[in-house]
Amino acid sequence: MRLILSILFLCCFIHINAFQAEPALEILKDYDKVRDFTMSNNETEAYVSAQSNLEEKSVIVRITKENGIWNKVDIASFSGKYRDLEPFLSPDNLKLFFVSNRPLTSEGELKDVDIWYVERATTSSDWSEPKNIGAPINTEADEFYPSVAKNGNLYFTSVGHDAMGEDDIFVSEFKNGKYSKPVPLKGGVNTKSYEYNSFISPNEDYLIFGGYARKDGLGSGDLYVSFKNDDNTWTQAKNMGDQINSKFMDFCPFVTNSGTQLYFTSRRSNIDANKSIKSAKNLLNTFNGYENGFSRIYMTSFDLNAFKN
């Protein structure tokens, strides 16, 4: 029995420690701050948020891949004027959800942050004009980080909708072409603190999300994983560990369609405050390095089984 337990422990240890986060999307290295990531099923089209240093400007950009290399960056057809961020492609890749402070009409005033979406007939078609997802999801408060399962159920972050804490994660079921009243996730996800930036798996069987300053956290915001029970509650969230998380802010998860890669945003820094820098060139290289404390996108191999009890 001891031998079996030892083998199981070793296998789990090897699985978890096989993860190693590394910089992704070098094509965006010249952008000061980038965050969020969503990618098409065939992994040739991706969307991220590019922001100014103080985040006054936030634009969704589209990246395309050719011959296995990300080689082109364009501002998404629906973005560029307002503060847009947090794009998410639906599992069929025919809708893209995002959040924005844009007005409801072209003559209207800027408003709180709402969830919007664009749609297309095929994956090679142009996107439609943005549409506000409306009630009962959007409110007078802010709604953030939409994520959608295959059945259309929408997961998002809000400070409204009877939240039990600061930011909570909610779900709105999609039935007969309509969204139901959002409810907070029950079980081991939401707390009285901050839960945010959730990625729901296409089959709705697991959720990866950000949790801020939890007792089992590594410093700032960490990524956690929770599994859905048969009664629609969620298991106690598990910290994804120091092979993925850091002492800095880690957030905005996305798992590829294959389920084998995890992308996320981090504000980690590898700048050594005690290291002497002798030249202006080295100083600039240090400040402009990928891991410089600004929001950057990282990726790691991913095996969901490593986080199951």
Phi-psi region of 246 (alpha: psi -120 to 50; beta: other; left: phi over 0): beta
- Cα separation, 165 vs 158, in Å, equals 10
- Collapsing DSSP states into helix, strand and coil, what is residue 13? helix
Q: Where are the domains of the chain?
A: 33-307
Residue 283, phi then psi, degrees to nearest 5 = -60, -45
Separation in Å, CA 176 to CA 46, 151, 153, 179: 30, 11, 12, 8
For residue 8, the model assigns a pLDDT of 42
For residue 146, the model assigns a pLDDT of 99
Structure confidence at residue 20 as a pLDDT band (50, 70, 90): confident
- Cα separation, 299 vs 104, in Å, equals 35
Q: How far does Cα 285 stand from its chain's mean position?
A: 28
> pTM of the entire structure?
0.91
Going by C-alpha positions, the residue among 251, 259, 203, 297 that lies closest to residue 41 is 259
- Which H/E stretch holds residue 36? strand 33-39
User: Could you give the count of Cα atoms lying within 13 Å of 16 in the half-sphere of its Cβ?
Assistant: 16
Given a contact cutoff of 8 angstroms between Cβ atoms, the answer to whether 157 and 145 are in contact is yes
Task: Please report the DSSP string for 98-126 in residue order.
Answer: EEE---SSTTS---S-EEEEEE-SSTTSP
Compute the mean pLDDT over every residue in the chain, rounded to the nearest whole number: 92
- Cα separation, 125 vs 94, in Å, equals 9
pLDDT tens digits, one per residue of 128-156: 999 999 999 999 999 999 999 999 999 99
For residue 13, the model assigns a pLDDT of 41
pLDDT at 161 > cutoff 80? no
Burial of 121 (0-12, 13-18, 19+ CB in 10 A): exposed
- Cα separation, 211 vs 158, in Å, equals 14
Q: How far does Cα 15 stand from its chain's mean position?
A: 23
Least confident of 9-13, 187-191, 223-227: 9-13
The topology (CATH level 3) of 33-307 is Neuraminidase (2.120.10)
pLDDT tens digits, one per residue of 266-283: 999 989 899 999 999 999
pLDDT tens digits, one per residue of 67-84: 999 999 999 999 999 999
